Amino acid sequence: MKLPLGIHVGERLSLEQTYWQAELADRNGFESVWVAEGRLARDGIVPAAVIASRTDHVKIGTGVVNNKSRNAALMAVTFKTLDELAPGRAILGIGAWWEPLATKVGQPLRKPVASMREYITVLQSFFRNEVVSFDGEFVQMRDVRFDSMYRENRPVDIPIYIGAVGPRMLELAGEISDGVHMDFLLPPSYLVGAREAIARGIAKRTDGRESIDLTQIVSCSVNDDDPQEAIDACKAFLTLYLAQQPHIAEHCGVERELVDRIQERAGWPATPEAIKKAMPLVPNSLVQNVTACGSTDDVFAKLMEYHEAGVRCPIISTLGDKEQTLTRLAQAAKD
C-alpha cells in the first residue's frame, strides 16, 4: 500500500463483521488490525486470539486494553500466549481506563501516568524473561517469571503502544514505550502538540532510541452516492462519544457548554434513540474536523492529512456502510 493502513474493530461490530474485516485486511495488504475494549460490551483478548488464528500476515494489536482490570503478570502471559498463536505479530496497546466507567466498577482513576509507568515497567521485565520483583505504589511483584513447564523460557518481542491523548501520558509514551496509539476524534492539528510531548519523552530515554511509532484511529465513513449519510454516521458516533466519554471534548475543540447540552439530552447510558435526539446539536463542520467522512476522495484526503501531520499509519474505524468504506479505502490506498 502507498499509504499504510490499519483497521480498528470492536464492540460496535458483530463478531462476524469483526472477523470479516480482519480477514479482508489480511488479504489486501493492510498492516494491522486493532481490537478495541472500551465499554462493558465485549472483551478485546478473545477476538484478538480468533483473528490471530484466522490470519497470516497482519499484526494484531489491542486498541486498547486498560492497566487496571488485569494483573500485570496476567497481562504479560496473555500476550506471550498471543505471540504463540501469531509469532511476531502481537502488539500490546494499553491505556488508562476512562471515567465515569472506572469509578462505576470500583477502579477510579488515580495518578494514571504514575500507575502506567509502573505497569509497563513490569510488563517489559516479563517480556525480557526476567525474574520480576517490583514494589510500587500500584504494582507489586515478588520473584515471579514466565513458567517454562510447556516450552523453553525465552524473551518475547511484544511492542507496547500507549493509548495516550494528554501531554503527560504522551510524554511517558515517548520515554518508555514503542509507540503511541492515539484515540478517535482528534483533529490533525492536535498532532502538533502531541508530537512535541512525545519528543520530550524521547529526549529522556536511556536506551538510545530516537523515535517511536505513531498510529491513530480515525473514524471513517464512505458513501459515494450520499456523502451526507456518511457524515451523519460519523456525527452519531461523535455525539455518543461526547455523551459517554466527555474527556475527549477538550482535545477536539468542543466547548463544555455543548457537551453539557449533549449529555443532558442523551442521558446515561446513551441509547441510540437518545443519540438521534442529540445529534442536531453537533454541526457538520465539527464532524468533518475530527473524522474522515463523505465520498471516497474526501475520506482518503483526510487520511492523508493525518499522515502528513505525523501519523505513520492511520487506523480505519468503519462507520455507516462498513463494507463500502473498507473496500473503497483499500483500493484507494493501492492506487
CATH of the domain at 83: 3.20.20.30
Q: Helix H segments across the chain?
A: 15-27, 45-54, 72-85, 101-104, 112-127, 167-176, 190-202, 227-244, 256-266, 272-278, 284-290, 296-308, 322-334
Amino acid at 104: K
pLDDT in tens, 106-133: 888 889 999 999 999 999 999 999 999 9
Calpha distance 11→15 (Å, rounded): 8
Domains identified in the chain, total number: 1
Residue 38 lies inside a defined structural domain of this protein: yes
Q: What is the DSSP secondary-structure string of 151-200?
A: S--------EEE---SHHHHHHHHHH-SEEEEPSS--TTHHHHHHHHHHH
Let me know how long the chain is.
Answer: 335
Residue 308 lies inside a defined structural domain of this protein: yes
pLDDT in tens, 199-258: 999 999 999 999 999 999 999 999 999 999 999 999 999 999 888 877 778 878 888 899
- Going by C-alpha positions, the residue among 159, 95, 151, 89 that lies closest to residue 127 is 159
Calpha distance 79→90 (Å, rounded): 7
Residue 152 lies inside a defined structural domain of this protein: yes
CA angle 280–281–282, rounded 5-degree value: 90
Calpha distance 241→289 (Å, rounded): 15
Phi and psi at 69, nearest 5°, equal -90, -10
Cell numbers of 162, please?
500507549
Residue 77 lies inside a defined structural domain of this protein: yes
Residue 1 lies inside a defined structural domain of this protein: no
Residue 180 lies inside a defined structural domain of this protein: yes
Calpha distance 210→230 (Å, rounded): 39
pLDDT in tens, 146-155: 987 777 889 9
Residue 262 lies inside a defined structural domain of this protein: no
Residue numbers in the chain where pLDDT is lower than 70: 1
- Going by C-alpha positions, the residue among 93, 303, 249, 89 that lies closest to residue 180 is 93
Domain range enclosing 187: 6-225+291-334
Asked whether the CA dihedral 273, 275, 281, 283 is positive or negative, the reply is negative
Residue 247 lies inside a defined structural domain of this protein: no
